[in-house]
Chains A and B, each alone.
Chain A
Amino acid sequence: AQSVTQLGSHVSVSEGALVLLRCNYSSSVPPYLFWYVQYPNQGLQLLLKYTTGATLVKGINGFEAEFKKSETSFHLTKPSAHMSDAAEYFCAVSERGGANNLFFGTGTRLTVIP
């Protein structure tokens, strides 16, 4: 069974500081991995995804994530936070070759302090 754990429901960083949002998954086989961002009163937008190949994945808005199989992790990072990054971020997994359902974490709300 798939499950996703996002450590920290709220993360605050100063503008210009490193952003690190944690995601760990539980799966019998390495899944496909996704990060979504949700801005206030909007739907979810795909930031980046890992399916195969290079384990460091670059997404939109300067975000990137690294798939680490040994740690069953897919943490999201950005070197320098911008005020516009304030949003809720969701990590999600889906099973390779299985049903197409995405299993979502409970989300991490990122606050950027000026």
Chain B
Amino acid sequence: GAGVSQSPSNKVTEKGKDVELRCDPISGHTALYWYRQSLGQGLEFLIYFQGNSAPDKSGLPSDRFSAERTGGSVSTLTIQRTQQEDSAVYLCASSFGSDLYGYTFGSGTRLTVV
């Protein structure tokens, strides 16, 4: 597609449930990133995929968070046993894999844990 697509745009879930957030990057972009944006805060790096290399998971806040990227394209971020502090906007971005270009961001998924 023309841009980075994220679904759902909004998700309300009960505490303790698992959620899956989807990101469909721009075709041809080899790099894919997940960030979290909490209310009133900046962007927190979560995980980074580059081609077939092992992902950089250094930003994942706990082992309840995981992500995968199938076929070098679509990525799914999974949060298990959600907690209220997981409420945030989860942003996905993709790029050509060089930091020369910057990222193209999706519109995000707003997750609310009640």
Q: Which residue of B lies closest to A35 (CB)?
A: B102
Interface residues on B, range: 20 to 34
A83 at the interface (CB under 8 A from B): no
Indicate with 1 or 0, residue by residue over A71-104, a CB within 8 angstroms of chain B CB atoms.
0000000000000000000101011101111111
Q: List, in ascending order, chain A residues with CB within 8 A of B43's CB.
A: 44, 90, 104
Chain A residues 40 to 63 lying within 8 A of chain B, measured CB to CB, are 41-46, 49, 51
Indicate with 1 or 0, residue by residue over B80-114, a CB within 8 angstroms of chain A CB atoms.
00000000000101010111101111111000000
Contact flag A104-B103 (CB < 8 Å), given A43-B4, A43-B91, A99-B48: no
Q: Are A102 and B42 in contact (CB under 8 A)?
A: no
Q: List, in ascending order, chain A residues with CB within 8 A of B98's CB.
A: 100
Q: List, in ascending order, chain B residues with CB within 8 A of A90's CB.
A: 42-43
How far is it, in angstroms, between the C-alpha of A106 and the C-alpha of B91 when the chains are bound? 15
Contact flag A43-B99 (CB < 8 Å), given A90-B43, A100-B48, A101-B45: no
Q: Which residues from chain B sit less than 8 Å from chain A, CB to CB?
A: 4, 6, 31, 33, 35, 41-43, 45, 48, 50, 56, 91, 93, 95, 97-100, 102-108
